[in-house]
Amino acid sequence: MGTVRLTTAQALVRFLANQYVERDGVEHRFFAGCFGIFGHGNVAGMGQALQQYGDELTYYMARNEQGMVHAAAGFAKMRNRLSTFACTSSIGPGATNMITGAALATINRLPVLLLPGDIFASRGPDPVLQQLETPNDGDLSVNDCFRPVSKYWDRINRPEQLIAAALAAMRALTNEAETGAVTLALPQDVQVQAYDFPEEFLRRRVWRIRRPLPDLAALEEAAALIKESRRPLVVAGGGVIYSEATEALRGFAEATGIPVAETQAGKGSMPYDHPAALGAVGVTGTRGANRIARDADVVIGVGSRWSDFTTASKTAFQHPDVRFININVADFDAAKHAGLSLVGDARATIEALSKKLADYQVEVDYRERVVQEVREWDREVERFYASDDEPRPAQSAVIGAVNTFSDPSDVVVCASGSMPGDLHKLWQTRDPRGYQVEYGYSCMGYEIAGGLGTKMAVPEREVYVMVGDGSYLMLNGEIVTSIQERQKLTIVLVDNHGFASIGELSDVVGSGGFGTHYRYRENGSLGTNTETPGRLLPVDLAANAESLGAHVIRASTIPELKNALAEAKSIDRTVVIYIQTNRETVQDYESQWDVPIAEVSSMDTVRVAREGYEEEQQAERRYL
C-alpha cells in the first residue's frame, strides 16, 4: 500500500471529498462542500488545503460562523440526512460562534462536521491570540465547549491521529441513530504538518445506510396490542421523513384506518387533505388531533423523540390505560414513555407491521369521527386564511397568502417565535419535504441561513423563508451569501415590533408582555401590554435588507402581499417581502405547556396565573 505526503489539512480535505453514502442502492456524495471563515487559526492550514483541492471539495464563504452551521443543518435536513457540509473556522470567537449551530444539529439529529482551528499542539507560542488559558489544564481550549453538543469530539494533536479520528467521525455522522454535530478540533500547527498518509485512507469510501428491523417478537406484540385497541393513533415524527417512509405510512393509514397526527419535524408525513390526516398535535396542535390524542388507547410513535410540545407537557394522552408503541432507529427514543420498543428503520418497520395487521381495521364510527375532525379543521384554516382586512394583518393571514400562492413542491422554512406554532397548525403540506421548520432547538437566527442550506439542497424549488423581526435582527448576514452563490430565497419578513411569541407567553404567566416590545424606554420602563408603551423604534428592516443586496418589496395589506409574491417569482436574486402585522397569534387548541410561574409574587396578575398553573399541572402524568 502506497502513501502520499500531505499536510493534515490537505489529507482531511481529500478524505472528505471521497466519502459517499448509499441507501436502497443509490449512492450520494456525503459532503457537498465546506463552509468557512478564515482567520489565523485555519487560513494557512484548512484554507490552503481548500484552495489547493477546490476542484474536489467546493469552498463556500459564509458571513457568520453560526449561520454557516445552520446552512449545513438546513441542507442535511432537506437531503434526509444523506448529505451535509463541513464547516471550518478560526480559533477563538470563530469557533465558539459555531456552538449554537452544533447544539441545533445534535438536538435535531442532523449530521454536520465542524472543523474549528485550535491552539498550538506544540505549546510553543502559548498563549496565542484568542487562547483561553486555565491554570490547571494546559490542553484546554474554547473548543472543549463543543464536547456536550457533539455526538463525537476529538482533537488532532498529531497528523497520524487524523486517520482514526476521521473514520470515527464518519461513523457517527452516517449512523441514523447517533448522528448530529461532529467536531474535530484542529490545532493550527498540526494543520500544516506533513505526514505520509496511506493511499487507502484517501480513496473513495461508501458508508451504507441500512434499514434494520425490530425483532420478530416485538413486532408480534405490537400487532397484538393494536388489534386489541379501539382508538389507536399514529404520531409521525421526523423519522418518517428522513426514512422516506411517507408512502408506507399512507398505505398503513389507509389499510387500517388508524389516523395520523404530526410533530413539527414530521409535518408532511401525510398530505394535508388525506381523510386520516389530523395534522399537528400537542401544544401547537389542531383541535381534532388533540381531541383524538386525548382519548387514544394505543399511541404509535414513528420517528419521534417525544418532546414536551408533542406531548403537551405529558397532558395530551389522557386515556387511563394508554400504551405506547415506539418505532425508532434509536433505542433511546424507542424506550420513552415505557413504550413497546420497535427499534428499527421507520419505513421497513411500518411495512413489516402492516403485514401483521393485514386483517385489521378500526371501527367505522372511529374512522368517521376522524373524518369529521379533519373537515372541521379545514374550515378553521379557511377562517384564519380569510382574515385579511386588518390595517395590520394577522400573521395567520400572511401564512395563508404564502401557502395558497406557493406550489406543492415549494418549501417553507422557519424556526422561532410565534410563527412555527401558527405554521404547524395552519400550513397545508402537499409534499413530504415542503415543510422545513426547525423546532428541536427553535433557534432564533436559523431561518435565513437554514433557508440558504435548504435552497442549496433543492435549487429547482422555490424556498420561502418566514421570519419575524426579532429573529431577522439576530442573524441576517447569509442574505449576502445567498446572493453571492446565486441561491435565490424569497424571505417574508414579518414585523410586529418585538418578540410576539414570548410577549403572549408573558401575558399568560402574568407579566403583561414585559421586555418584548421594540419601543423607546419611557419613564424608566420598557413597557408592557398593560402600560402606555413608548414610541416604536425607527428601525427600517426593509432598508437593511436592501443594503445587503436583496430586492425588497414593501407590502401593507394581504392583497399587496399576494402581488409581491407574484412579482418575486420573476426576480433572479433573493427577495425580501416586508410586511407589518399585529401581534395576534393563533390560539392553542385544547392543550397546555408547562412554563413554571413564580410561586410567590407581589404582582396580582402573577398570583392569579400561578393558581391556574397549579390546576393545570394536575393533568400532567408519567407514562409508566
pLDDT in tens, 455-497: 999 999 999 999 999 999 999 999 999 999 999 999 999 999 8
Query: Taking all residues of the chain, what is their mean pLDDT, rounded to a whole number?
Result: 95
Q: Give all strands of the β-sheet with 463-468 in edge-to-edge order.
A: 435-437, 411-414, 463-468, 490-495, 575-580, 551-555
Q: Give all strands of the β-sheet with 152-155 in edge-to-edge order.
A: 59-61, 31-36, 84-89, 112-118, 181-187, 152-155
Lowest mean pLDDT among 126-135, 206-215, 517-526: 517-526
User: CB-based contacts of 600: which residues, under 8 Å, 6+ apart?
Assistant: none
Query: For residue 93, what is its C-alpha cell?
Result: 470567537
- Residue 1: is its pLDDT beyond 90? no
User: CB-based contacts of 379: which residues, under 8 Å, 6+ apart?
Assistant: none
Residue 328 φ/ψ, nearest 5 degrees: -160, 140
Residue 179 φ/ψ, nearest 5 degrees: -70, 160
**Structural domains in the chain, sorted by start:** 3-208 (3.40.50.970), 216-376 (3.40.50.1220), 387-497+537-580 (3.40.50.970)
Predicted confidence at residue 522, as pLDDT, reads 79
Identify the CA nearest to 11 among candidates 156, 175, 141, 111. Answer: 156
Distance CA 27, CA 206 (A): 8
Each residue of 246-294: pLDDT tens digit?
Answer: 999 999 999 999 999 999 999 999 999 999 999 999 999 999 999 999 9
For the chain, what percentages of helix, strand and coil (3-state, to nearest 5) are there? 40, 20, 40
Burial 37-52 (b: 16+ CB within 10 A, else e): bbbebbbbbbbbbbee
Burial degree of 623 (CB within 10 A; 0-12, 13-18, 19+): middle
According to DSSP, the residues that pair with 232 across neighbouring strands are 298
User: CB-based contacts of 388: which residues, under 8 Å, 6+ apart?
Assistant: 397, 400, 401, 557, 558, 559
Distance CA 114, CA 458 (A): 23
Each residue of 36-92: pLDDT tens digit?
Answer: 999 999 999 999 999 999 999 999 999 999 999 999 999 999 999 999 999 999 999
Burial 183-199 (b: 16+ CB within 10 A, else e): bbbbbbbbbbbebebee
Distance CA 457, CA 497 (A): 32
Q: Give all strands of the β-sheet with 19-23 in edge-to-edge order.
A: 26-29, 19-23, 205-208
- Residue 312: is its pLDDT beyond 80? yes
How crowded is residue 611: how many other Cβ atoms within 10 Å of its Cβ? 10
Question: What is the three-class DSSP state of 609?
Answer: helix
Distance of CA 37 to the CA centre of its chain: 23
Burial degree of 12 (CB within 10 A; 0-12, 13-18, 19+): buried
Lowest mean pLDDT among 216-230, 242-256, 456-470, 514-528: 514-528
Residue pair 293/299 in contact by the 8 Å Cβ criterion? yes
Each residue of 336-385: pLDDT tens digit?
Answer: 999 999 999 999 999 999 999 999 999 999 999 999 999 999 999 999 99
User: Which residue is listed with cell 393545570?
Assistant: 616
Q: Which helix (H) or strand (E) holds 553?
A: strand 551-555
| H-type alpha helices, 296-416 | 308-311, 331-334, 346-356, 364-386, 395-405
Question: What is the three-class DSSP state of 117?
Answer: strand
- Residue 389: is its pLDDT beyond 70? no
Predicted confidence at residue 515, as pLDDT, reads 84
Predicted confidence at residue 530, as pLDDT, reads 55
User: CB-based contacts of 541: which residues, under 8 Å, 6+ apart?
Assistant: 469, 472, 473, 493, 495, 578
Question: What is the three-class DSSP state of 292?
Answer: helix
Angle at 71 between CA 586 and CA 39, to 5 degrees: 135
Predicted confidence at residue 521, as pLDDT, reads 84
User: CB-based contacts of 428: which residues, under 8 Å, 6+ apart?
Assistant: 272, 273, 381, 403
Predicted confidence at residue 497, as pLDDT, reads 87
Predicted confidence at residue 527, as pLDDT, reads 60
Identify the CA nearest to 272 among candidates 257, 284, 261. Answer: 261
Residue 27 φ/ψ, nearest 5 degrees: -100, 145
Question: The whole model's pTM is what?
Answer: 0.96
In the structure, what pLDDT confidence band is assigned to residue 531 with cuts at 50, 70 and 90? Answer: low
Lowest mean pLDDT among 21-30, 140-149, 514-523: 514-523
Phi-psi region of 202 (alpha: psi -120 to 50; beta: other; left: phi over 0): alpha
According to DSSP, the residues that pair with 579 across neighbouring strands are 494, 555
User: Which residue is listed with cell 433511546?
Assistant: 332
How many residues are present in the chain? 624
Distance CA 476, CA 293 (A): 39
Identify the CA nearest to 28 among candidates 71, 77, 80, 72. Answer: 80
- Residue 583: is its pLDDT beyond 90? no
Each residue of 441-450: pLDDT tens digit?
Answer: 999 999 999 9
Residue 420 φ/ψ, nearest 5 degrees: -60, -40
DSSP annotation of 143: G
pLDDT above 70 coverage of the chain, percent: 98
